[in-house]
Amino acid sequence: MMQLFYVTVNVCLTSNLCVTPLGLEGDVDLQFLLVGGKLMKVKSSSWKKERMYKLHDDNATIWHESHRIFKRKQTFSIDDVDSVRKGRQSEGLQKHTEAHVEDRCFSIFFKGRRRNLDLVATSVEEARQWVNGLEKIISNMKKLNRQQTSEHWIFNCMRKADKNKDNMMTLKELKHFLRQINIEVDETYAKLLFTKCDTSNSGTLEGSEIKHFYDLLTHREEIDVIYEKHAATGGQMSAQDLLNFLQNEQREVATLEDALRLIEKYELDDSAKHMNHMTKDGFLMYLQQEEGSIFNPAHKKVFQDMSQPINDYFISSSHNTYLMEDQLKGPSSTEAYIKALMKSCRCVELDCWDGAHGEPVIYHGHTLTSKVLFKDVIKAIKEYAFKTSEYPVILSLENHCTLEQQKLMAKHMISILGSALLTSPLEDQMPTAFPSPQELKGRFIIKGKRLNKLDAVFSNTSPGVEEDCVSEEDESAETSNSKTDTNGQKAKAKKSKIKLAKQLSDLVIYCKSVHFSGFEHAKDKQAFYEMSSFKESKAVNLAETAAKAFIHHNMTKLSRIYPAGSRTASSNYNPVPLWNAGCQIVALNFQTPSKEMDLNQGRFRSNGLSGYILKPEFQRYAGSEFNPMTLTKGPWIKHKAFHIMVISAQQLPKLNKDKPKSIVDPLVKVEIYGVPADTCSKETRSIENNGFNPMWNETFQFDIQVPELAMLRFLVEDYDATSQNDLIGHYCLPLTSLQNGYRHVPLLTKRGDVIPSAGLFVHLMLLDAK
């Protein structure tokens, strides 16, 4: 069962559940964590207290000492940990500890909004063991396949239900366990299940009886039906049977060698493997691996042409990147940049203002949001920019600084980013088009105002001005104009100005910010590197009323879209209509979980999480007549009939863990986002009191005209008759990245993290329409 990374649970319910990671048996770092030790917890300069920490014997939970009277939970799960960073890498440790303890410090960062844990070990060696041990466990947990995480989760729940730790399960403990895994059963059924497994009539389940109970619990009827239909060789699947399944059901271009490879990889029964057969267990194992995933494994790596000009790509982009929460009083943090960059965001925003002691700061101006040093943000960007993706990062500057602090900004970027900072065109002569993501690998591009034309770089005749006034763009211009202007004419007359230093101006190469004065003006007067930013309302209006012109504008220029200033809670707008209009930099508030961020995560899920997605050809070639609002005949029309059957779900999480008897009533929504003609939503019925193995077997059909711009989103909700449904999990991907046939769909939390044991099981057919 858990042979690849975790020891099989065997048939006993022991206190440690036998979940020691394979490869770590006897590991000194793991043994160190199990013993635990004292660590200094740092909250502020005045709050530094010693606390005991240790790894629980389930090898998946950290226990910690707490002196708070009402602190109920003194543990956190390894599943909830995003990363462990050695040294003073958190803002808290940098602020509240001295440099000489650097080698004894480490921080635990969590998924979601939970505050990170800043710790100081008693010695350098102990800090090393804590970090190494935690990283080994996290790495092992991430390597678990879907079946292994499922078993790990189920047996962890069993361990918790075994209240007296006697390795046996009473009827009362069984009922408690079933509620833990999100099943509500009546007294009669629970007793029947218990009696069926209690073959020794002892009144408790132990050993092989628990194994029997586990098998009954995890038995999946839908897999039986599929397997029996295709197992045509003595009740088992031969390699030829499996090939027939791959070709006819999964619609894959497969060979007999592919079938044999899957048997070798996933079949657990040696005698079946010897005959080149796949048993039902092996078949289920295959379905739960990436080969059986809805997401095409070939799209997990960069598979698109990365040699086109960067304006030919959708670029994952963040707005107000420095914010952790809302834009009125929320905290600003370097951590917000790290989180965005680690999600392969390739365009981040820096809202720069004069700071105390002559150092520029970043925050949301004229609000109560906290401030963070500009140079600290640049250091964090330098450190984390290319860990997820090696493709270029655009630094979008909102500059409100005086000349002196602007010069410091330029100095910091040059000294910290070094040769990675693009300070001149890649070409030896004046370029006429953008370079490609491939040519710009590992480089930083500055977006901002520039005092002169780019060809001044190649001219030695004029020294250029040292400083000058330029008009403000983006949010700053919107804010100042909204305060003083009553109509469009007055807005032009009172456009706010800011003095710009040459040192900062000279760093702007391919992304010079200019005011948008219409598509005709841009076509005749704007250089390719001169780009405009659009407030969402203006951009959406253009996308609806002048989509074709917008698309053609974006064939030679870059466009950045940003949320309206009225979105004080950092909410998001729908990015899809802007992508339909070919806009590349559609900036969203990454810190705000929302349907819109789900769509952004889905759009950039493929192409190796590079943060760059090549636009469809009909959004790139000059003769295109494509208009998403009024579809006409053309290469963009690839009419598809999309059939989808929502079969079942597995191990959906409890939403209210504080109420043991609270069980979800799940339903599934299937949504298509794309051009208006394709946008559609359908949903299943809800299933009462079963989040462990609900089954729907409901079929839907969608008519798709422009599949290259369409995205598929699954939404699993807890039905509530009296109030809004609660989100259980979601998943989104481009329609062009899905695999046909029987597929497992992973589910993500509200904030986009994988729910380890949960998933949907569906059948998909995306076929040419007749």
Residue 335 is encoded by which pair of tokens?
């951590």
Q: 210 near 12, Cβ under 8 Å? A: yes
Q: Is 96 a catalytic residue?
A: no
Average pLDDT over residues 724-734: 96
Categorize the per-residue pLDDT at 175 as very low, low, confident or very high, splitting at 50, 70 and 90: confident
Q: Is 720 annotated as a binding residue?
A: yes
Categorize the per-residue pLDDT at 18 as very low, low, confident or very high, splitting at 50, 70 and 90: very low
Three-state DSSP class for residue 189: helix
Q: What is the pLDDT of residue 37?
A: 93
Residue 687 is encoded by which pair of tokens?
């299933």
Q: Is 209 annotated as a binding residue?
A: no
Q: Is the pLDDT of residue 494 over 70?
A: no
Q: 146 near 744, Cβ under 8 Å? A: yes
CA geometry: angle 410, 411, 414, nearest 5 deg: 85
Name the catalytic one among 319, 552, 744, 763: 319
Q: Is 613 annotated as a binding residue?
A: no
Q: Is the pLDDT of residue 6 over 60?
A: no
Q: What is the pLDDT of residue 588?
A: 96
Name the catalytic one among 56, 364, 552, 553: 364
Q: 628 near 648, Cβ under 8 Å? A: no
Count other C-beta atoms under 10 Å from residue 429's C-beta.
Answer: 8
Task: Give the DSSP H or E segment for 152.
Answer: helix 146-161
Whole-number Å distance between alpha carbons of 173 and 87: 44
Q: What is the pLDDT of residue 2?
A: 29
Average pLDDT over residues 2-16: 34
Q: 678 near 705, Cβ under 8 Å? A: yes
Percent share of the chain, pLDDT over 90: 66
Q: Partners of 361 in the beta sheet?
A: 353, 373
Whole-number Å distance between alpha carbons of 538 and 543: 9
Q: Could you tell me the domains of the chain?
A: 28-146 (2.30.29.30), 162-218 (1.10.238.10), 221-292 (1.10.238.10), 310-426+434-450+507-619 (3.20.20.190), 640-768 (2.60.40.150)
Q: What is the pLDDT of residue 23?
A: 58
Q: What is the pLDDT of residue 264?
A: 95
In the chain, the amino acid numbered 229 is: K
Q: What is the pLDDT of residue 701?
A: 97
Categorize the per-residue pLDDT at 4 as very low, low, confident or very high, splitting at 50, 70 and 90: very low
Q: What is the pLDDT of residue 14?
A: 37
Three-state DSSP class for residue 106: strand
Q: Is 551 annotated as a binding residue?
A: no
Q: Is 349 annotated as a binding residue?
A: yes
Would the pTM count as exceeding 0.75?
A: yes
Q: For residue range 564-609, what is the model confidence (pLDDT) as tens digits?
A: 888 888 889 999 999 999 999 999 999 899 999 999 999 999 999 9
Categorize the per-residue pLDDT at 70 as very low, low, confident or very high, splitting at 50, 70 and 90: low
Q: What is the pLDDT of residue 21?
A: 58
Q: Is 697 annotated as a binding residue?
A: no
Q: What is the pLDDT of residue 523?
A: 95
| Mean pLDDT value across the chain | 88
Q: Is 319 a catalytic residue?
A: yes
Q: 331 near 325, Cβ under 8 Å? A: yes
Q: Is the pLDDT of residue 327 over 90?
A: no
CB proximity list for 201: less than 8 A, separation 6 or greater: none
Q: Which residue has the higher pLDDT, 325 or 723?
A: 723
Three-state DSSP class for residue 683: strand
Average pLDDT over residues 199-204: 90
Q: What is the pLDDT of residue 461?
A: 56
Rounding to the nearest 10 degrees, give the CA dihedral for residues 685, 686, 690, 692.
60
Average pLDDT over residues 674-698: 95
CB proximity list for 307: less than 8 A, separation 6 or greater: 436, 438, 439
Q: What is the pLDDT of residue 210?
A: 84
Long-range contacts of 276-283 (CB under 8 A, 24+ apart): 276/238, 276/239, 277/233, 277/236, 277/237, 277/238, 277/239, 278/236, 278/237, 278/239, 278/241, 278/242, 279/236, 279/237, 280/223, 280/224, 280/227, 280/231, 283/223, 283/227, 283/237
Categorize the per-residue pLDDT at 10 as very low, low, confident or very high, splitting at 50, 70 and 90: very low
Q: Is 320 annotated as a binding residue?
A: yes
Q: What is the pLDDT of residue 184?
A: 77
Q: Is the pLDDT of residue 388 over 60?
A: yes
Q: Is 719 annotated as a binding residue?
A: yes
Categorize the per-residue pLDDT at 218 as very low, low, confident or very high, splitting at 50, 70 and 90: confident
Match 């949907």 to its residue by tokens.
Answer: 760
Q: Is 603 annotated as a binding residue?
A: no
Q: Is the pLDDT of residue 72 over 70?
A: no
Q: What is the pLDDT of residue 462?
A: 54
Q: Is the pLDDT of residue 33 over 50?
A: yes
Q: For residue range 730-748, what is the model confidence (pLDDT) as tens digits?
A: 999 999 999 999 999 999 9
Q: Is 502 annotated as a binding residue?
A: no
Strands 444-448 and 393-399, sheet pairing: parallel
Categorize the per-residue pLDDT at 206 as very low, low, confident or very high, splitting at 50, 70 and 90: confident
CA distances in angstroms from 332 to 222, 335, 362, 482, 745, listed in the order given = 49, 9, 8, 25, 35
Categorize the per-residue pLDDT at 5 as very low, low, confident or very high, splitting at 50, 70 and 90: very low
Q: What is the pLDDT of residue 478?
A: 54
CB proximity list for 483: less than 8 A, separation 6 or greater: none
Q: For residue range 295-308, what is the model confidence (pLDDT) as tens digits?
A: 999 999 999 999 99
Q: What is the pLDDT of residue 460?
A: 66
Q: 626 near 634, Cβ under 8 Å? A: yes
Asked whether the CA dihedral 740, 745, 751, 752 is positive or negative, the reply is negative
Distance of CA 707 to the CA centre of its chain: 23
Q: Which residue has the higher pLDDT, 325 or 305?
A: 305
Q: Is 663 annotated as a binding residue?
A: yes
Q: Is the pLDDT of residue 133 over 90?
A: yes
Q: What is the pLDDT of residue 8?
A: 36
Q: Is 351 annotated as a binding residue?
A: yes
Match 């790139």 to its residue by tokens.
Answer: 620
Average pLDDT over residues 122-150: 87
Span of 27-31, 153-157, 365-369, 568-572 with lowest mean pLDDT: 153-157
Whole-number Å distance between alpha carbons of 605 and 712: 12
Q: What is the pLDDT of residue 495?
A: 62
Q: Of 22-31, 204-213, 255-264, which one has max mean pLDDT?
A: 255-264
Q: Which residue has the higher pLDDT, 441 or 15?
A: 441
Q: For residue range 438-465, what is the model confidence (pLDDT) as tens digits?
A: 999 999 999 999 999 999 888 865 555 6
Average pLDDT over residues 633-659: 90
Three-state DSSP class for residue 442: coil
Distance of CA 377 to the CA centre of its chain: 22
Q: What is the pLDDT of residue 492?
A: 45
Q: Is the pLDDT of residue 34 over 80?
A: yes
Q: What is the pLDDT of residue 97?
A: 93
Average pLDDT over residues 36-49: 93
Average pLDDT over residues 646-651: 95
